[in-house]
Structure 1
């Protein structure tokens, strides 16, 4: 909505921004600097982390309206005092957790922004970082490795349930409120819910800064929203006066009492009226004063995507911490360096592009030959004379006639573990000892994608080749048989040469479709796990519509078009016989 407004030339005057939006909007020139109004003296009244989240290239573009921070909830009835370090946390987990009845911790482990917030708290708590002040990627470090290994240990030791890989905030809160865990990583909103009159944990929960490695300090991930002014507004002074009102102590107190919003002004954490209803704010103040913003960078959406995918892969056991760390650092470096170069140089730096090209080539080179061979075999069978041939021919068309999205969703459920029918059948007939997580491993997910595509598009090849077989004159078949040719000789010396024009059409269409696959994989795997099935078209889509780099996306699309044209000419060349070229 905001981007459309900015591009229209008549923008919405006030921009209500999440902490991660500032750099992107400011870099694009869509925001008005607020330095002349939001002076250093006024900034001192606000939470330092929230102020820094609104600063980009030395200018302030956002005034914080409400704050937020990740922190540790703990059961005071089970743990006398909260752990401060990883070692103290591990000791409590070893001593007090009894999975599956009582886990040690629940957190946000699903592949989404919440997982990035969790990972950054471990990373910062170990003394690491993602990008330093000079803009250098520092993720691939001993501290980063320690953070990933510690998170992986939570799953391996059973201190966190494996189901945490599908947890967002509400799932973590539900498990914690049901007494399933000693600790929970979450945001301040959870306190109010846990202390409702009907809550079984009312009065039994405490909050503390998130755990950190020995020798380092606790850091919570900053959240919250703020207001900025769009560049080009007709009355910026009036817009600023509204921001002054919206961020005033009175307005923030109203937001707190009516919506439970965490204030962004420091003084309100010690306000008697707020402390009367929220006595935990004395402890919360210490936590939020140490909050740190996620990387303030215009390309944060891409950085976040990279972190989400590979941290999730580590938790799932798909990637090792060492492997994931190197891939994340390389991908982020390619993103940051590539933006400074022209499109041609960027191709060499774009690590994500190389990886998606590899996936696309693998998918195409496996699926197309299999579909062609299977389609040719079925077409030959359907071309023979037998009873009920018309019914079989119609049945073969059913997979091709089904909508791809519906079909992909069906295969997603069939490959699912533990609910899928494929695992159930393979275990019952003895081909598998135990169910496989098809869609949770790179090789399994690629196999599932190829298998689903094979089922869906082989009928297309059958239709084309069957049409070609119907054009071969019966007289020629009889003549070559009279000459003593056997089935193989008839096929290679008569059938296949006459079928080549139809083979050419089938191969060109299938290569173009397979190389440009989007809908099937998007529904089946979303390109995961850890980008293992992310194809070129999915990447181009994300570049254009998620990262707002339309120019680069168009450039990649044009290159892709020329590549497909070249491959099509190559197929025509290889499937054209000598006598055809001479005509």
Structure 2
């Protein structure tokens, strides 16, 4: 299904500002955007940009980036450090823009009327020192995948807390093994020593009242009793409801176990939903998703925020047009088309109740409750030091999971290292 966004583009103040009295653009610019495409992303984006191009007279040129996001981020840093004026906009991972904030235009004023329509956690994640440095385009957040057939078989409900998940996973796992499935595990997740573990562990800690590692005001909060309890509980899963090999698992490793029918629960991102329901999947039609559990005694879930946003380079020679395009990509019209045509999850809350999106992509409305409880990684307060912060955190957690020190010992040491890294009153 194809939608027309031309009227919306013409009505936007950013677009109108670029039009002469005659209705044609005063100056026609070629706006260059750096973007790492996957699948049909390039084709879809080029179609979605057309109404903006027609309304403003400008054109959009795509610079395709490497498939490796690490390489992509490295290239961005090189270009921006050189004050490259050839790229006007950068499609940015949710944790990148805060690290590169000094190179990006402040979008706060341009987005003042539309920012409240987006998930608050996403706006927060892209705001540095009161400056909105990137406009949300589409998002991502994980959920709890569960085998509804097995829960029904054993009379169990979807767990609300991590403690309930631990007990239910063990009971169903043991019963299935006794029934002959020796390969069944209770819970698979991402335990390797990498950014994915930061995401998983942040969810355990935040949902247990242990904070966000580093708070939005820059305060280091990770060394606390609730965080210790959350990570110790996770450590108890290894070798009991989760295989020992989970300490080397990334997303695809977890999905491999899950999709062959050998797990009761899985923590993973939305991409695994469609794959799990593919014709070659052993769990097709047998599972559902829910918000991630909370810690005992706490009532707020936490799903680590992912997704992509668009930032305008300070070195662009066409900043006004670039800001206009950024606002358009953050609009309801653009995001609706991207959801329907590209299965991309919107950042605008009301689109999760849109009938056209629900008809074309039934999975999307199911993620609304997940995003309402999303938590950003602390890239905004730690800025250029975020990668080191995350590395120190995931290593401390991985050490605990693998039995190299207790959570209390490792988080105390982590706090000291983070204080040294911070090196003063501010990051």
Range into which the TM-score falls when normalised by the shorter chain: 0.7 to 0.9
1:270 and 1:281 in contact (8 A); partners too: no
Match of 1:176 among 255, 258, 261: 258
Of the three residues 92, 97, 120, the one matched with 1:17 is: 92
2:120 counterpart of 1:37: no
What is the Cα deviation at residue 185 of structure 1? 0.4
- Equivalents in 2 of 1:322, 1:58: separation in Å? 34
CA contact (8 A) 2:345 2:364 kept: no
Unpaired segments ≥5 residues, structure 1: 342-583
Q: 2:164 aligns with which of 70, 78, 88?
A: 88
Structure-1-length-normalised TM-score: 0.56
Q: Secondary structure at the match of 1:77?
A: helix
Name the structure with the higher strand share: 2
**Displacement of 1:9:** 2.7
Candidates 188, 193, 207, aligned match of 1:111: 193
Q: Please point out which of 203, 206, 221 is paired with 1:138.
A: 221
Distance 1:330 1:119, change over 3 A: same
Per the alignment, residue 50 of structure 2 pairs with: none
Q: Give the CA RMSD over aligned residues.
A: 1.8
Structure showing greater radius of gyration is 1
Spell out the pairing of 1:157-168 with structure 2 (5 A cutoff): 158-168=240-250
Secondary structure, aligned partner of 2:400 = helix
Residue 135 (structure 1) shift: 2.1
What's the offset of the Cα at 1:338?
Answer: 5.4
2:141 to 56, 69, 89: 69
Count of paired positions: 337
SS at match of 1:279: coil
Q: Deviations over 1:88-147 (max 9, x none)?
A: 212212321136521111001111100000000000011012123442211110011011
Contact 1:76 1:206 in 2 (8 A): yes
Residue 244, structure 1, aligned to residue 317, structure 2: no
| Partner Cα separation in structure 2 for residue 94 and residue 21 of structure 1 | 38
Shift of 1:25: 1.1
**Higher relative contact order by CA 8 Å / sep ≥ 6: 1 or 2?**
2
1:15 offset after TM fit, Å? 1.6
How far did residue 223 of structure 1 move?
0.5
> 1:33-62 CA distances to partner (integer Å, 9 max, x unpaired)?
0112111x3012212111111111111111
2:277 maps to 1:195: yes
Pick one of 282, 287, 296 that aligns with 1:205. Answer: 287
Higher share in helix: 1
Q: Does 1:327 align with 2:413?
A: yes
Kept in 1, the 8 Å contact 2:343–2:361? The answer is: no
- Secondary structure in 1 aligned to 2:362? coil
CA drift at 1:340:
6.3
Secondary structure of 1:83 counterpart: coil
Structure 1 residues 393-542: aligned runs within 5 Å? none
Q: Distance in 1 between matches of 2:363 and 2:76?
A: 36
Where in structure 2 are there 5+ consecutive unaligned residues? 1-74
Q: Does 1:306 align with 2:389?
A: no
Match of 1:289 among 368, 372, 387: 372
